Amino acid sequence: MAKVQLLQDIQIKKAKPQEKDYFLNDGGGLRILIKSNGNKIWEYRYTINDKRKKTTFKTYPIVSLIEARTKRQEYQTLINRGIDPIKYFKTIKDENIVDNQGMFLNVVDEWLKIEAERTKENTHQNKIRIFENDINPFLKNKHIKDVKKDDILKIIQTKEIQAPNVASKIFVIFKSLFNYAVFKGYVTKNIFENTKEERKNYIKPQKVKHFSKITDEEILKELVNDIYNYTGMHSIRNALKFVLHIPLRADNLCNLKWSYIDFDKNVLTIPRELMKVKNINLPDFRMPLTNEVINILKEQQIFSGYQEWIFLGNNNRDPINSESPNGALKRMGYNNDRKGRKQRLHSFRGTFRSLIDTLDIDNKFSYEIKEKALDHHEESKTVRAYANQVDYINRFLPLMNYWSDFVLSLRDND
């Protein structure tokens, strides 16, 4: 059998395209395909387990003659060991892809995209800030499988000195992140499996601090009058007036839509998925509108009735941010916790719940109704099973009228 003459680099350079594709052989299964369009592609043919196979080494001159021969030798070495080089290099490529995906920042990015679909926007943005400010600077160059418990605990313990509540959140975030990493195959186990025990050892228990709230009727009287006489933005004034009468959570208040209001039936309906308790077995949150609340909404309708949101921000397009009404309360002087004069949007719920008990000396309203007015729900599945079947709206009306009348009684006579 005639010996194949080895190729010279000059031959390949000078090889011209012809009407049909043709080959220049270098021996040992290596050849270069000269295409009719001028492309020059390295091919390698081999036999393994009695099967003929073919692969390519990219194009010339991206892969030089010397490089193609080196690659041929690598493939032949694997074949001599009984390893199929095509399968071998595909496995390495796949592993490299997975390994790259397992870099800490990549895993965080994947996880945050999934979290974005099941958490509120504010909560999601807080998580992003925690990663950007407190976590990523220390772990950004690591593969997640190389992240050790001590790495995380250093971050947590440092943050505990600065902001204990954030340190606690970091602990929870990492447990969830590593659960995801295990599921995706980036790590083999969650290094924070025993979270409760670890938390006791590394994070000091935090004292529960309830929202400050005004419960003194004289101070509340000042607040009511200051809100009704507020001369700032219409949306801020009317949002504060509204929450005086219907103590919604700050997020629900600021993101109220006109579509939630039924002026024919005088009812507010907020979809269950937008409430804090998102249990699909619970009905939407429905609250009757008192006469004063209807007046507030009618006034606000003049300014925002043409838009989706009831309480518009500065751009007259998006809803107000909760910090805007909170800022107004600060400017009014309701920022002194020690003197019982601190009030924020969420405080109105505490004010309502505390004073309604004080005012209801005849026990006209049950504990259950007072709690449901705030959309508070028992954790007991049995209690929920019965409660879910009840529409409270007719039972809310006397309570909310009673409260609304009380708020209006605190206003100074014009």
CA–CA separation, 211 vs 340, rounded Å? Answer: 11
Judging by beta carbons within 10 Å of its beta carbon (0-12, 13-18, 19+), is residue 224 exposed, middle or buried?
Answer: buried
Query: What are the residues facing 286 on neighbouring strands?
Result: 269
Q: What is the pLDDT of residue 150?
A: 86
Look at residue 397 and tell me if it is in a domain: yes
CA–CA separation, 414 vs 397, rounded Å? Answer: 28
Asked if 285 contacts 376 with a C-beta cutoff of 8 angstroms, the reply is: no
Q: What is the pLDDT of residue 298?
A: 96
- pTM surpassing 0.95? no
CA–CA separation, 105 vs 327, rounded Å? Answer: 36
For the residues of 277-292, what is the DSSP string, one character each?
A: ---TTSPPEEEEPPHH
- 183 closest CA partner among 128, 300, 88, 102: 102
| Number of structural domains in the chain | 3
One domain, residues 46 and 184: no
96 pLDDT band, cuts 50/70/90, is: low
Query: Which range marks the domain in which residue 171 is found?
Result: 102-202
Q: Residue 170 above 90 pLDDT?
A: no
Query: What are the residues facing 269 on neighbouring strands?
Result: 286
Q: What is the pLDDT of residue 386?
A: 41
4 pLDDT band, cuts 50/70/90, is: low
For 269-312, write each residue's pLDDT tens digit. 999 889 988 877 788 999 999 999 999 999 999 999 999 999 99
One domain, residues 376 and 228: yes
18 pLDDT band, cuts 50/70/90, is: very high
Asked if 190 contacts 178 with a C-beta cutoff of 8 angstroms, the reply is: yes
One domain, residues 191 and 238: no
**DSSP summary character for residue 174:** H
One domain, residues 233 and 359: yes
For 207-262, write each residue's pLDDT tens digit. 545 568 899 999 999 999 999 999 999 999 999 999 999 999 999 999 999 999 99
**DSSP summary character for residue 375:** T
**DSSP summary character for residue 11:** H
The CATH number of the domain where 191 resides is what?
Answer: 1.10.150.130
Considering 89, 111, 139, which residue would you say is the last residue of a domain?
89
Q: Which of 22-31, 84-93, 380-389 has the lowest mean pLDDT?
A: 380-389
Summary mean pLDDT of the chain: 86
Average pLDDT over residues 44-70: 91
For 304-336, write each residue's pLDDT tens digit. 999 999 999 998 889 999 889 999 999 999 988
Mention every residue, 6+ apart, whose C-beta is less than 8 A from residue 364.
398, 402
